[in-house]
Amino acid sequence: MTVKRKKLIVVGNGMAGVRAIEHLLKLAPEAYEITIIGAEPYPNYNRIMLSSVLAGGASLDEIIINDLEWYRSFNITLYTGHTVTSIDTAARTVYTDKGVTAVYDELILATGSNPFMLPIPGTEKEGVIAFRDIKDTQIMQDVSQKYSKALVIGGGLLGLEAARGLLHLGMDVSVVHIHEYIMERQLDEAASRMLRGELEAQGMKFLLKKQSEAILGKKRVKGLLFADGEMAEADLIVMAVGIKPNVMLARSSGIEVNRGIVVNDYMETSLPGIYAVGECAEHRGIAYGLVAPLYEQGAVLAKRLAGAPTEGYAGSVTSTKLKVSGVDVFSAGQYNEQPGTKALRFQDETEGIYKKLVIQEDKLIGAVLFGDTNDGAQLFSMIKKGENIKGREKELLLGLEADALASPKGNRLEGMPDDEIICGCNGVTKGTIAEAITAGGCTSVGQIKACTKASASCGGCKPLVEGLLQLYAGEAAVTVKEGICGCTTLGRDEIVAEIKRMKLTTVKEVMHVLSWNTEEGCPKCRPSLNYYLGMLWPEEYVDENESRYTNERYHANIQKDGTYSVVPRIYGGVTSPAELIKIAEVAVKYDVPLVKFTGGQRLDLLGVKKEDLPKMWEELDMPSGHAYGKTLRTVKTCVGSTFCRFGTQDALGMGIRLEKAFERLNAPGKVKLAVSGCPRNCAEATIKDFGVVAIDGGWELHVGGNGGVHVRATDLLCVVKTDDEVLEWASAFLQYYREQAGWNERTAQWIERVGLDSIKQALESPEERAALVERIQKTLSLTTDPWKQIVNTPELRKNFEAISLPETV
């Protein structure tokens, strides 16, 4: 006998609707025949991550939460690219703009919200967009290829994330904000000022106290006119001034609507059998614009639909975090002071740290953290619990005791309900984590991450996950020792020491002798062992190509569509017309779709088919630029005394000399150098692994800089007089880094870990420096150009080609 399933339709294929369905499928997998209708042409994706896509931290593919296979595996009928235009609530039928008609027993409205567009003339012009969906993100990416000037209207969370992304795309970005200071809804003036300073340092510009009046331009936007008569040029305007619940469909169907679709504690609307969740819903007068509350709503709705008991949804306390690299901003609860509240503040402008706690009747009701947001998760959890903090205020302000959560009295976590979300990014509840530990046998944060995805994204919840691990695994958790990867319990230093002591010479031998618990290692330990062995035994060790990442195996960067890129070596960034013609000819011949300058001043030919790589290398007949490897990448230079009127030294000559000296060097991480001809530092040498800045009569040597995700300015290592000394110190520093750092550890992380002083000490004595120089020279003398080698060796070259058409036998 087949039980007749009830028909459930969801309008809106976004985060809230699909989340509710995921939950429902766990509680009552057989109860409903489910149809989801969504206006966007994609499966369900993580909207939050659009900011990361724009800022270069993720690709569009990576943000899909449920792919088409998921819908299929649960027999969900999915219509993408369909907008529901009307609901016949009497006949329980929905209609879409593409002619689909579907009947329901129960209906969920999860239509999200629409971006608010300022009611000023010109918003319909080409180049004026919001920041809401994949389409907007793609427009920004496209525009950045052709145009340079962007304006973002709105200095709130979304606006700043959009602006940061546009900076990443290479645009000149100004944020227009109507208030005197940015993020005024989350921060007070002091914290906001500090934030602005940080963002300005990253290159963002601000037009504050500006009221936008009209968008200029004929067909395409040209600029923005302000109420004060001033004007700003723009090729792109992104409006991020707010959102409003998308209630059109509900309203025209006769469902009660206020600001959002009005729902009760069980997410029921005014009509029977119709529910609403997410940004379109208004619960107890509040329409939320964040993911955590709508996940909580989804959980309640799923229980209701599954017929499981639930106390209902009682509203949420929210927290927000600015997802901009290099700045940490967190705010939660009621962070503005009001009558009846008291605030405690800590402000340290030298370190760029600001904290504020808002307290009412001995309870923590809000917090703002800037610069150091480590305590955010704990404070947020205290706000939600509403616990009495009398007598502990200062301790909380100045930092929670590190093990406060693990201590026996830290039963805050114990009392937390099972369905409370611990990891907001991935929507993992306390119950799920607890189960992974007790039933799933996880004994480390890494394992919990692998099996539940908790703390796998922004990592903000890691302290809570650690706390839960302590709580449920107790002793077992403390005793696990994590090695360089899951295959061993040994750390980097132990492994290197054992290799030296026992003179181990192959990857296989190391794994065997040191009792690896996997057959042949994993993509983490294999490349690291390959590196350590090569570093320790430069003469004897034969590099294991199979233990290198794809990029290093094929000597080209794999791009998201499976094509590769080619960056020929151009020493010091100095080229010639003849060389340019050669590169251009090869690019034309192989139909290279995109040619651009890399961040390190070299030419990048992108979108090359793997089969074409060896032929292109051959025809270019230039050395590999190693733009794909953990090795010396480029030495960036300014023009220096050769042409510049300020230059005091020959930056070009020094750059070329350094690049030739360290070309092809294997290192724990990628290594970037730069040379500037005077302290104006046009080559930005102070964010490189090794930076050289000319001063009158000598050179300043800087180390440990990084311009990547975590920007770090260099520390000054020393000042030297002659060019030869620059070479000597650079060699000694790089070799010491090669010998001491863990695989995959950039100089910036390494210096933060071991401290600048320990490095200065190690390089202090001329004898020690000479020994390091000798060791690096030995290593360098043994390198060969990989492109040439592949071009000339059929045995290596075959791996770039597919096996030719097989024949039937």
Ligand X SMILES: Cc1cc2nc3c(=O)[nH]c(=O)nc-3n(C[C@H](O)[C@H](O)[C@H](O)COP(=O)(O)OP(=O)(O)OC[C@H]3O[C@@H](n4cnc5c(N)ncnc54)[C@H](O)[C@@H]3O)c2cc1C
Residues making contact with another protein (CB under 8 A): 61-62, 64, 67, 69, 450-451, 518-523, 526, 545-547, 549-550, 554, 558, 562, 798-799, 802-809
Tokens of 243: 């959102």
Stretch that binds ligand SF4, among 258-266, 430-438, 670-678, 748-756 (CB under 6 A): 670-678
Residues touching ligand X, count (CB under 6 A): 34
* Dihedral (CA of 761, 764, 767, 772) sign: positive
**How far apart (Å, rounded) are the C-alpha atoms in residues 106 and 267?**
12
End-to-end Cα spacing for the chain: 51
Smallest distance from ligand SF4 to CB 640, Å: 5
What is the rounded CA–CA span in Å between residue 294 and residue 291?
5
CB of 315 to ligand X, least distance (A): 16
Signed CA dihedral, 13, 15, 21, 26: sign only:
positive
Pick from another protein, ligand SF4, ligand X, none: which does 638 bind, CB < 5 to 8 A by kind?
ligand SF4
Residue 639 interacting with ligand SF4 (CB under 6 A): yes
User: Which strand ranges, in their side-by-side order, compose the sheet holding 715-720?
Assistant: 632-637, 671-676, 690-695, 698-703, 715-720
Q: Which is nearer to another protein, 78 or 249 (CB)?
A: 78
Using CB under 6 A as the binding rule, whether residue 677 contacts ligand SF4 is answered as yes
Q: Decide: 480 and 443 in contact? Cβ < 8 Å.
A: yes
Of 496, 583, 651, 791, the residue at the interface with ligand SF4 (CB under 6 A) is: 651
**Out of 178, 450, 644, 796, the residue judged to bind ligand SF4 by CB under 6 A:** 644
Stretch of residues binding ligand X (CB under 6 A), selected from 108-116, 581-589, 593-601, 636-644: 108-116
- Quick one: tokens of 53? 């896509």
The string of DSSP codes covering 76-96 is: -EEEES--EEEEETTTTEEEE
Nearer to ligand X, 238 or 656 (CB): 238
In angstroms, give the least distance from the CB of 679 to ligand SF4.
7
Residue 320 φ/ψ, nearest 5 degrees: -135, 155
Close Cβ partners of 496 (under 8 Å, ≥ 6 residues apart): 532, 536
- Which of the listed partners (another protein, ligand X, ligand SF4, none) does 234 bind, with a CB threshold of 5 to 8 Å by partner kind? none
Nearer of residues 629 and 647 to ligand SF4, judged by Cβ: 647
Per CB under 6 A, 687 contacts ligand SF4: no
Query: And the tokens for 691?
Result: 């930076």
Residue whose CB is less far from ligand SF4, 346 or 646 = 646
Nearer to another protein, 67 or 265 (CB): 67
Q: Which of 21, 25, 34, 37 binds ligand X (CB under 6 A)?
A: 37
Name the nearest CA neighbour of 42 among 11, 73, 8, 78: 78
| Strand order across the 231-233 sheet | 212-216, 223-226, 231-233
User: Considering CB distances under 5 to 8 angstroms, the limit depending on partner class, which of ligand X, ligand SF4, another protein, none binds residue 547?
Assistant: another protein
| Residue where the block lists tokens 């007068």 | 285
Indicate the residue among 155 and 573 with the shorter CB distance to ligand SF4: 573
3-state secondary structure 272-332: CCEEECHHHEEECCECCCCHHHHHHHHHHHHHHHHCCCCCCCCCCCCEEECCECCECEEEE
Binding mask 598-637 for ligand SF4 (x = CB under 6 A): ----------------------------------------
Contact between 290 and ligand SF4 per CB under 6 A: no
The answer to whether 260 contacts ligand SF4 (rule: CB under 6 A) is no
Question: Which part of the chain contacts ligand SF4 (CB under 6 A), choosing from 17-25, 41-49, 284-292, 675-683?
Answer: 675-683
Cα separation, 386 vs 397, whole angstroms: 17
Q: Are 478 and 443 in contact (CB under 8 A)?
A: no
Residue 40 binds ligand X (CB under 6 A): yes
Cβ proximity of 29 and 307 under 8 Å: no
Residue 77 binds ligand X, judged by CB under 6 A: no
Q: Which residue is nearest to ligand X (CB)?
A: 14
Least Å distance, CB 653 to ligand SF4, is 12
Among 103-111, 418-426, 642-650, 698-706, which window interacts with ligand SF4 (CB under 6 A)? Answer: 642-650
Q: Which is nearer to ligand SF4, 290 or 644 (CB)?
A: 644
Rounded CA separation 85/99 (Å): 10
Q: Shortest approach of ligand SF4 to residue 723 CB, angstroms?
A: 16
According to CB under 6 A, which one of 291, 379, 423, 496 is a site residue for ligand X?
Answer: 291
Cβ neighbours of residue 137 under 8 Å, at least 6 residues apart?
A: 50, 53, 54, 60, 131
What are the DSSP E strand ranges found in 668-726? Answer: 671-676, 690-695, 698-703, 715-720
Which of 371, 394, 384, 444 has its CA nearest to residue 420? 384
Which CB, 30 or 696, lies closer to ligand SF4? 696
Q: Is 460 in the site for ligand X (CB under 6 A)?
A: no
Find which of another protein, ligand SF4, ligand X, none residue 639 binds, CB within 5 to 8 Å per kind: ligand SF4
Q: In the complex, which residues of this chain contact ligand X (CB under 6 A)?
A: 11-17, 37-40, 47-48, 50-51, 83-84, 110-112, 131-132, 158, 246, 249, 278-280, 289-292, 294, 323
Q: In the complex, which residues of this chain contact ligand SF4 (CB under 6 A)?
A: 638-640, 644, 646-647, 651, 676-678, 680-682
